[in-house]
Amino acid sequence: MQENKVLPQPHLLSWVQETSGQPVSRCYQCYKCTGGCPVASFMDILPHQIVRCLHLGLEDELLKSKSIWLCASCHTCKARCPNGIDIASINDVLKAKVISRGLVPASSTIATFHREFLASVEKYGRAHELGLVMAYKWKTRDYWKDLSLGVKMFRKGKFRLWPDRIQNKEQLRSIFKRARGEA
Amino acid sequence: MFFGYYPGCSLHSTAAEYDASTRALFEALNIPLKEIPDWNCCGATSGHSLNTYLCHSLSLRNMVLAEGVASHLVVPCAACYNALRSTQAFLKSGTKEAKKLQEDIKLSIGQEYKGMLEVHHLLEVLGTPDILSLIKEKQKVSLAGLKPAAYYGCLLTRPPKVVNFEADAEQPQLMDRLLKALGAEPVSWSHKTECCGASLSIPAPEIVEELVKKIVQAAVRAGANLLVTACPLCQTNLDSRQPEDYKLPVLYISEILALALGISAPWLNKHLIDPSPVLKSCNF
Ligand code: SF4
Ligand code: SF4
């Protein structure tokens, strides 16, 4: 730890403020966000600490943190923060930064899930839950977890065997391209 | 009176019973639902997690298509509803990015968003005075004996200024009011807006199990004999990840209302936790 040597760096802070639209510098460390966060007990950096790390410019710590992936985007922090800061939106831009820099996500399972989900949407226009779960299992080599639950849900007819597709694939392709900045 | 209808991906698979019961309910009320033609996925949590702009673009395409069908859109899925409302708020912000989004969608789909669409969650539509009195008029079966814990979760209520679901985001009442109006006795409880873990269910089930356990325990502690939700993610998590020994049934609000209207409910056998013991004990 190098806590005594950290000098605040403004670059990360202003980038996050701008891209997430959150007034990060207003935070006065009241801990209300952490108090109400449902996944705080699973996090390595707590919600109020995420904001503090931004103030201090601790970029590596944040990009390597599991918390940004574990955040359930429940917006409880946003609803309760006296300064209206939405930590879910902060975590979203940090996750996007991890991906765009080609870094290894601290939770590979959650990152893989999100990627497979979007791959399904890009391919069909709609999420195909069964295909997505199977692709996820394949990528994470985790075939046994939840197998019996999967079988139970399958028997109940919860999954559609074949994907539901939209007609206008061209429009979708264009939307994905533009969102990736390729067009 | 008629509404545009956006079911979203879950209602076409894991939450087929939510779709079937919602359609049956509106049919019984003689209110036509017109499904948006060729709608796409809203992107859900994965969309905004990796690319918020993509999420807004996906929602905006749906909004343009919906505008061509009706001026009022009803959305049963809380996640889709949240995505649409977020995109509306984003457009309203009038920022550079918002203008670019409008331009981009015009280029991608050849149509423009006129900004006339009103997005409602299913609960908001069912709770309007006219429709609620219509439901009461057509009610055949009282819900007496049911002690539901109305569970709203996150996406319906938060962030409050973006979704604008109810004035008090910590203490929503709409679902409770509907249930009470039909004779049920909704319990007063602590966890109506706690998070169920939503999309973490597949990549981090241990977290979802922990969150679901607390929600189910709180409902039982308050004396509930069933949970009622208005979100396919919440229903799936609560139904599939609660501790073995609780077996607290989890129904969609549309299923409960369909029961009250005496509509036959073949979809009830879709649930992992069989609701029939509780329903039978209340003479359904
Ligand atoms: S609730 Fe808001 S002001 Fe308080 S610590 Fe969290 S982010 Fe900072
Ligand atoms: S949005 Fe994320 S950080 Fe905020 S309370 Fe929910 S899980 Fe915690």
| Interface residue A103 vs chain B (CB under 8 A) | no
In a domain, B214, yes or no: yes
In this structure, the answer to whether residues A60 and A85 fall within a common structural domain is yes
In a domain, A124, yes or no: yes
pTM of the predicted model, to two decimals?
0.94
A78 → closest Cβ in B38, B159, B270: B159
**Structure token digits, residue B161:** 């200024």
In this structure, the answer to whether residues A76 and A61 fall within a common structural domain is yes
Nearest CA to ligand 2 atom 8: A37
In a domain, A72, yes or no: yes
In a domain, A25, yes or no: yes
Residue where a domain terminates, one of A67, A101, A135: A101
In this structure, the answer to whether residues B56 and B144 fall within a common structural domain is no
What share of chain B in percent tops pLDDT 90? 91
DSSP string, B96-127: HHHHHHHHHHHHHHS----S--EEEEHHHHHT
Quote the domain boundaries for residue B263. Answer: 140-281
In this structure, the answer to whether residues B192 and B266 fall within a common structural domain is yes
Q: Average pLDDT in the A71-77 region?
A: 96
Best CA proximity match to B171, nearest among B146, B150, B155, B197: B150
In this structure, the answer to whether residues B193 and B256 fall within a common structural domain is yes
Contact A61, A35 (CB under 8 A): no
In a domain, B132, yes or no: no
ipTM of the complex: 0.91
In this structure, the answer to whether residues B235 and B276 fall within a common structural domain is yes
Residue where a domain terminates, one of A70, A85, A101: A101
Query: How does pLDDT run across B266-278, given as a tens digit for each residue?
Result: 999 999 999 999 9
In a domain, B201, yes or no: yes
In this structure, the answer to whether residues A91 and A171 fall within a common structural domain is no
**Structure token digits, residue B59:** 């929602």
Report CA torsion sign: B145, B242, B262, B73. Answer: positive
Query: How does pLDDT run across B159-213, given as a tens digit for each residue?
Result: 999 999 998 999 999 999 999 999 999 999 999 999 999 889 889 999 999 999 9
In a domain, A66, yes or no: yes
Query: How does pLDDT run across B2-35, given as a tens digit for each residue?
Result: 999 999 999 998 899 999 999 999 999 999 999 9
Query: How does pLDDT run across A126-151, given as a tens digit for each residue?
Result: 998 888 888 888 888 777 788 888 77
In a domain, B135, yes or no: no
pLDDT number for residue B72: 98
pLDDT number for residue A2: 52
In this structure, the answer to whether residues A119 and A161 fall within a common structural domain is yes
| Residue pointed to by tokens 């939770």 | A107
Domain count of chain A? Answer: 2
pLDDT number for residue A1: 53
Best CA proximity match to B47, nearest among A100, A96, A18, A97: A96
The CATH number given to whatever domain includes residue B28 is 1.20.1050.140
Distance CA(A147)–CA(B239), nearest Å, equals 16
Chain B residues 174-193 with a CB less than 8 Å from chain A: none
Residue where a domain terminates, one of A44, A68, A101: A101
A38 → closest Cβ in B50, B52, B194: B194
In this structure, the answer to whether residues A35 and A70 fall within a common structural domain is yes
Q: Average pLDDT in the A102-108 region?
A: 95
Pocket of ligand 2 (CB under 6 A): A 36-39, 47, 71-77, 87-88
Q: Average pLDDT in the A46-64 region?
A: 96
Quote the domain boundaries for residue A70. Answer: 11-101
Largest CA-CA distance found in chain B, in angstroms, rounded: 58
pLDDT number for residue A159: 79
In this structure, the answer to whether residues B274 and B162 fall within a common structural domain is yes
Report CA torsion sign: B160, B165, B166, B169. Answer: negative
Which phi-psi region, left, alpha or beta, contains residue B283 (left: φ > 0; alpha: ψ -120 to 50)?
A: left
| Interface residue A148 vs chain B (CB under 8 A) | no
Q: Average pLDDT in the A73-85 region?
A: 96
In this structure, the answer to whether residues A29 and A93 fall within a common structural domain is yes
